[in-house]
Amino acid sequence: MTVNISRWGNSLGIRLPKSVLEDSHLREGDRVDIVCEDGRIVLSKVHQLTLDDLLEGMTPENGHPETFTTLEGNEAW
């Protein structure tokens, strides 16, 4: 499939056809990583982790015990 590069303000851009978006499971608002590999432009969807994803591997054994028992400065709890 061939598309044209167009000027968007001070930048250049391309429009991704609907069929390409559907095949790559991309939609408006998704974040992508752009790299050049051997003269090719490669787009990869960035999978953003949720808080649940980040906390999934935490256990009492690998956590950092941090306890604050006194106020420092102007904290108000």
pLDDT, tens only, 5-46: 999 999 999 999 999 999 999 999 999 999 999 999 999 999
- Cβ proximity of 2 and 16 under 8 Å: no
Q: Record the pTM.
A: 0.55
Q: Where are the domains of the chain?
A: 6-51
Domain 6-51 of CATH type 2.10.260.10: yes
The CA-based dihedral angle spanning residues 5, 11, 16, 17, taken in that order and rounded to the nearest 10 degrees: -60
The CA-based dihedral angle spanning residues 64, 68, 74, 77, taken in that order and rounded to the nearest 10 degrees: 110
